Amino acid sequence: MTMRDTDRALVQAATAVSKLRCRSPRHTVASAARTADGRVFTGVNVHHVTGGSCAELIVIGTAATQGVTELETIVTVTDRGREVAAPCDPCRQVLRDHFPSLRVIVGELDALRVVEIGDLPG
Ligand SMILES: [Zn+2]
């Protein structure tokens, strides 16, 4: 799938959060998700020796806290916004189970693309 303007804006949102909030080893990854009606939720990971939580899960919980249980598109950025990362295997499973038609932005920053969550391996 090709990138929409709203997809590029979502990458910018995740990048902004990453640059602003991922300033310690505790928080290194940011994620942003958009609903079909344009609401955006962001979050950062929580790193801890016990396992912590990935940014994607924080975003799902943040959306649910606001009563939103349907997400359309998600992106995850690392390295203070210098890379877009695909969700890890456990997150892929959660995202597939909760949002079977979720669009995921992946790829190199200069060649981003959108894939359906079910088309990601793992
Ligand atoms: Zn994960």
Q: What is the pLDDT of residues 87-112, one digit of tens each?
A: 999 999 999 999 999 999 999 999 99
- Tell me which of 56, 72, 108, 116 is the catalytic residue: 56
Residues paired with 31 in a beta bridge: 43, 76
Strand partners, 73: 34, 103
Cα of 110 from ligand 1 centre, angstroms? 23
pLDDT class of 122 with cuts at 50, 70, 90 = low
Q: How far is the CA of 4 from the centre of ligand 1 (A)?
A: 24
Are 85 and 114 within 8 A, CB to CB?
A: no
The superfamily CATH assigns to domain 5-117 is Cytidine Deaminase, domain 2 (3.40.140.10)
Q: Is 70 a catalytic residue?
A: no
Distance 80 CA to ligand 1 centre (A): 17
